[in-house]
C-alpha cells in the first residue's frame, strides 16, 4: 500500500528510549520529515502487536533491543500538500521503552542516530507532538 495520498490512515508506532537522562533520536532518511530529528518508529505490519512493532522499529533504526512499557500517547499526523489534499495520514502510538542491549547505530531509514539530553532535544526542530511525547517520556522514565 502506498503511503503518499493514502486511501486509509497508517498506524505508526514510536519508541521513546530514555537512559541516564538522555533520549534516543533519529534523523529521518525518508519522507515524511526526511532530514529532521524524531523518535525511532515506523509502520505497524499486518499481524504485529503494537509493542512488538515498537521494539522492531527501535532495533531496525537504532541497533538497540528495547522493552516497550508504558503507552505515552496517541497522536494524529495529517500532512496536506499545497492543494490541500492529504499527502500523509498516520495515527501514531508511542511507548516509553527501556534498553535491554545493543549499541546505538543508524539503520533502516535512519540517516543518523544520537543520544540527546532533554535540553538538547528541546533545541531541535521537532514536530509539536514529538516534542510533547519526549517531555512526557522524561517525566515518566524511572530514575
Measured CA to CA, the distance from residue 133 to residue 74 in angstroms comes to: 9
What's the pLDDT at 2? 83
Q: Which of 18, 38, 62, 29 minimizes the C-alpha distance to 124?
A: 38
C-alpha of 84 from chain center: 25
Beta strands in 7-128 (DSSP E): 10-19, 22-28, 37-38, 41-43, 65-80, 86-101, 110-117
| Helix ranges (DSSP H) in the chain | 50-62, 118-122, 128-140
Calculate mean pLDDT across residues 16-37.
Answer: 92
Nearest residue to 23 via CA among 111, 120, 142: 120
State the average pLDDT over residues 52-63: 98
| pLDDT band at 67; cut points 50, 70, 90 | very high
Please report the domains of the chain, with CATH numbers, ordered by start residue: 10-140 (3.90.79.10)
What is the Cα–Cα distance from 138 to 80, expressed in whole angstroms? 31
Q: What is the pLDDT of residue 131?
A: 96
Whole-model pTM? 0.93
Amino acid at each position: 500500500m502506498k503511503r503518499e495520498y493514502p486511501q486509509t490512515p497508517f498506524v505508526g508506532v514510536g519508541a521513546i528510549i530514555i537512559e541516564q537522562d538522555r533520549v534516543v533520536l533519529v534523523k529521518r532518511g525518508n519522507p515524511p520529515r526526511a532530514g529532521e530529528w524524531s523518535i525511532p518508529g515506523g509502520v505497524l505490519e499486518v499481524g504485529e502487536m503494537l509493542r512488538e512493532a515498537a521494539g522492531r522499529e527501535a532495533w531496525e533504526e537504532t541497533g538497540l533491543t528495547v522493552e516497550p512499557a508504558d503507552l505515552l500517547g496517541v497522536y494524529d499526523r495529517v500532512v496536506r500538500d499545497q492543494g490541500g489534499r492529504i499527502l500523509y495520514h498516520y495515527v501514531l502510538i508511542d511507548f516509553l521503552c527501556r534498553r535491554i542491549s545493543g549499541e546505538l547505530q543508524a539503520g533502516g531509514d535512519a540517516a543518523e542516530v544520537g543520544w540527546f539530553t532533554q535540553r538538547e532535544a528541546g533545541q531541535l526542530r521537532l514536530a509539536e507532538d514529538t516534542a510533547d511525547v519526549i517531555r512526557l517520556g522524561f517525566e515518566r522514565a524511572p530514575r
